[in-house]
Amino acid sequence: MSAGVKTEFTFTGYGKNYVKLLQVRKEGKIHYIKEIEVNSQLTLNNTKDYLQGDNSDIIATDSQKNTVYVLAKQHGVKTIEKFALLLCDHFLNKYRHVTRANVYIEEAPWKRIEIGGQEHSHSFILNRDITRFCEVEHKRDSRPMVSAGIKDLKIMKTTQSAFVKFVNDEFRTLPDAEDRVFCTIVQSREGVKKITLETFAGEPREGVYSPSVQNTLYLTEQNVLTKIPQIEEIEMVLPNVHYFDVDFKRFPKIDFKRNQIQVLQPVDKPSGNIKAAIKRSVKSRL
């Protein structure tokens, strides 16, 4: 039997995804909830499970799932960042053959129902305008790396946005847009929501002009680093969520001339993805 081509592993890891839990904490008549979804991934100090089919070092994905529930019961979920760190510490301390633990958590955006302007003590509504997430990667004998942010913040403005003078070659069919609907979904560091909205929308009455998603993204990141000195580096993802004009020329028997209403066709999923990361230069830290 041929030995085959020589290879080596560049990465191994396995884990459990989409472990959901709801924590309910009661302080008298006031109840507090936190719903999270956890993904865990472990890397071992050997690859005998891959090479020889030897499973003796594998912490089963079901065991990883149960660990999430047990630690949540024992310690509670105070914040998703602290809970992710707790899980990573557990896997590294309990299993000496684990060399890397990675935990990604999303928190469901529940908020209290308001009745007559007063927050309810034990009733909640899911507020889908924003999702908090965190990721912790902890390698043995090194400091854990923690990142956290927000996503699914969908924002739109109906004017003062353009996209013109881009490459005009034989593959282009998209026309210049001097005034278009600008819609995107924000994924970025937590704590920058207010700055993002201000940069995107501008002053309430007049707004602010955007020549491209790229420019708005960069200006937002610049404003964040200017206003929040604790942040050293920021990465943002702004997908293009398109709303296309409906071709009403297809209805020649209908008179639309006196109708100023704009009707657009939404696209279900983003068709473009704009991404950039910037960090403080060395000179700016001096």
Residues annotated as catalytic (active site), given as ranges: 16, 61, 242
Residue 264 and residue 246 in contact, taking contact as beta carbons nearer than 8 Å = yes
- Element housing 247 (H / E): none
How far, in Å, CA of 107 to CA of 220, rounded?
A: 24
Strands (E) across 158-271 are located at 182-188, 233-240, 243-245, 264-266
Cα 43 from chain centroid?
A: 24
C-alpha count within 13 angstroms, C-beta hemisphere, residue 39:
13
Task: Quote the CA–CA distance of 212 and 216 in Å, as a whole number.
Answer: 6
Closest CA relative to residue 225, chosen from 191, 273, 263, 275: 191
* Distant-in-sequence, close-in-space partners of 130: CB < 8 Å, separation ≥ 6: 109, 150, 151, 152, 153, 193
